[in-house]
Homo-oligomer: A and B are copies of this chain.
Amino acid sequence: MINSFYPPSRTLMGPGPSDVSPRVLSAMARNTIGHLDPRFIEMMDEVKIMLKHAFKTENELTMPISAPGSAGMECCFVNLVEEGDTVIVCQNGVFGGRMAENVTRLGGKLVLVEDSWGAPVTPAKVEQALRDHPEARVLAFVHAETSTGACSDAKTLCKLASDAGVLTIVDAVTSLGGIEIDVDGWGIDAIYSGTQKCLSCTPGISPVSFSQRAIDKITNRNKPVPSWFLDTNLVMGYWGAGAKRAYHHTAPVNALYALHESLVMLLEEGLDNAWARHRSNHLALAAGVESMGLSFVVDEDHRLPQLNSITIPEGVDEAKVRSLLLENYSLEIGAGLGVLAGKVWRVGLMGESSTRRNVLYFLSALENTFNELSVDINYGKSVKAAQSVYDA
C-alpha cells in the first residue's frame, strides 16, 4: 500500500529548483481547464507578453516549451541545425558539452571552442573559430554556466556571430530573471531558459524565443525537423500570433498557471530590481564565504550572482557536509558536476531563494556544520561580514 506523498519543507539553495513562492504553488493548484478553452488562450497570450518582456524581445516566436530546459535546448538545436551544418559550440562547463552532444546527434559538424571550467568563454577564441570556419551556420554558448557559476559576455559573443553572418543559440537557463538578458539588443537568434531557476517557478517548462533570422533558417530547411514534438512550425500553430490555436499537443495547463504567476511576480518586482536583488545577496554571501577563508572557483568579474561555486577546503568530506546541511537544517546545496565533482559546492541564490534570510541561514548552517566536523576555517565572522555588506 502506497500512501500520499508529503515532501519535507526545504530551503533550496542548490543549482535549482529554487524556492517556489506560495503564490506560484497556489496558482498551480487552481482547477484545470482545457488547453483550447477561450480563457486559457487569454492566459497564454499573457504568458507570451510577459516572456517577451523578461527576454527583452519583440520576437513573435516567444513561448514556453512544454518540457524542462534540456528540451528547450533541444528545441533550438533540432530546428536550427541540419545534417552537415557546421556549428561552433563553446564549452566551459557541463552545459556547453550538452550543446555539443545535440550537434553531433543531429549530424552537424562540431567545432568546439574550449575554455577551462570556471572561466567565461573567451571572445578572441570565438573570433578565431569564426574566421577558421567561414562555413559555420551557428554559434552556440552558455550565458550562465550552472555547472561552474561563470558568466560569459553574451553581448560581445553575439556581435561576433552576427558580424560573421552566423546565428546564435544561447543557453539562458540560469540567467533569465537573475542577470541582464537583452535578446533584441544583443541580437540573440535563439534562446532557451528554465522555470526552476531565477523565475522561481516549479521545474518542467522551458521558455524559448527565436528571431526572424532564425525563423527564416527554419523555414528554408532542406528536410523536416526530425522532432515532431519540438518542430516550431507545428508548435506555432498553437502558440503563434494570430494562430488558430490549433491542437498540437495538450499543454501542461497547471504548470503554465504557475509560470504565469511567477512572471506576474517578476514584473511586479521589475527586472532591474530583480537583478539588483540577486547581485546584493550574492555580494553578502561572497563576503561571508570569503571571511571563512573559502574561495570561489570563478574570478570576481565573471561570477554569476545566482550560482556560487565554492571550493571545498582540503580534506573535507563534501558529501557529508551536504547531507548534514540537509538533515540538520533541511537546507539543500548542490554538488559539483563533471570535472568539478568533489571539488566544489554549488550554492544557488536564485529567484525566491535569493533573500537575506537565506544568505544568513546558509552561512550559519555551514559554519556550524564545519564546526561539527572540526574543519579548520575562520569561525564567527561570516554572518557579520554578510550583514555589513547589506548595511553598506
Contact = CB atoms under 8 A, between A and B. Distances in A.
A255 B255 contact: yes
A33 B220 CA distance: 43
Interface in A218-245: 224-229
Contacts of A39: 7-8
Interface stretch (A100-108, A178-186, A307-315): A100-108
Nearest to A251: B203
A202 B191 CA distance: 27
Contacts of A253: 17, 202-204
A251 B68 CA distance: 7
A49 interface: yes
A297 interface: no
Contact of A32 (B1, B20, B26, B248): B20
A105 B227 contact: yes
Q: Considering residues A16, A26, A66, A204, which has the most beta carbons from chain B within 10 angstroms of its beta carbon? A: A204
Interface residues on A, range: 35 or more
A261 B106 contact: no
A252 B224 CA distance: 29
A377 interface: no
B27 A4 contact: yes
A44 B247 CA distance: 31
Contact of A34 (B35, B74, B332): B332
A37 interface: yes
Given A10-B34, A29-B25, A49 B19 contact: no
Interface in A264-308: 264, 267
Contact of A252 (B46, B204, B248): B204
Contacts of A227: 74, 78, 105, 227
Given A252-B202, A255-B202, A105 B228 contact: yes
A26 B326 CA distance: 25
B250 A69 contact: yes
A210 to B, nearest CB: 18
B17 A257 contact: no
A267 B203 contact: no
A192 to B, nearest CB: 12
A387 interface: no
A98 interface: yes
Contacts of A355: none
Contacts of A392: none
Interface in A1-42: 1-10, 12, 14, 16-17, 19-20, 23, 25-35, 37-40
Nearest to A223: B105
A34 B12 contact: yes
Interface string A65-89: 0111111011000100000000000
A31 B8 CA distance: 8
B17 A34 contact: yes
Contacts of A78: 227
A368 interface: no
B29 A28 contact: yes
5 contacts: A5-B261, A9-B31, A17-B35, A32-B202, A66-B68
Report, nearest first, the 5 A-B pairs whose CB atoms are least far apart: A204-B252, A29-B29, A67-B67, A70-B249, A202-B254
Interface of A: 1-10, 12, 14, 16-17, 19-20, 23, 25-35, 37-40, 43, 46, 49-50, 66-71, 73-74, 78, 98, 101-102, 104-106, 194, 196, 202-204, 224-229, 247-255, 257-258, 260-261, 263-264, 267, 326, 332, 337
Given A6-B30, A12-B32, 4 more contacts: A2-B50, A5-B257, A67-B67, A204-B250
